[in-house]
Amino acid sequence: MKLNIYILVFGLMVSACTTSEDKTRIISVLEDTTEIDFIAKPDATTIQNYYNFDTNLWQSANFRFGRINSLMHNTRQQVGIPSEQALLGNELERQELVTGFQDDIENILQKSKETKGHKYSSIWLPLVKELKVLQKTANSNTTVYLFSDLQENSRFFSVFRVADLQLLEGEQEKVLALFLEKSKGIQPTDTIEVVVVFQPQTIDQDERFQKLKHLYAQLFSKLGIRIKFVANLN
- The DSSP letter of residue 232 is S
**CB neighbourhood size of 97 (10 A):** 15
Q: How far, in Å, CA of 130 to CA of 134, rounded?
A: 6
Which has the minimum average pLDDT: 82-91, 149-158, 159-168?
82-91
CB neighbour burial string for 40-60, b if at least 16 within 10 angstroms, e if fewer: bebebeebbeebebeeebbbb
Q: Give me the chain's average pLDDT, please.
A: 87
Give start and end residues of each alpha helix (H) in 59-123: 91-112
Per the structure, the complete domain to which residue 78 belongs is given by: 2-230
Q: Which residues contact 51 (CB under 8 A, 6 or more apart)?
A: 25, 27, 59, 61
pLDDT band, residue 124 (cuts 50/70/90)? very high
Stretch 84-109: mean pLDDT, rounded?
A: 93
Question: In this structure, how many other beta carbons lie within 10 angstroms of the beta carbon of residue 176?
Answer: 15
Contact between 156 and 163 (Cβ < 8 Å): no
pLDDT digits (tens, 9 = 90+) for 154-191: 999 999 999 999 999 999 999 999 999 999 999 999 99
191-226 per-position pLDDT tens digit: 999 999 999 989 999 999 999 999 999 999 999 999
Coil, strand or helix at 117:
coil
* pTM confidence score: 0.88
pLDDT value at residue 117: 55
Number of domains in the chain: 1
| CATH number for position 78 | 3.40.50
Q: How far, in Å, CA of 70 to CA of 74, rounded?
A: 10
Q: Which residue has the higher pLDDT, 62 or 39?
A: 62
* 57 — pLDDT class (breaks 50, 70, 90): very high
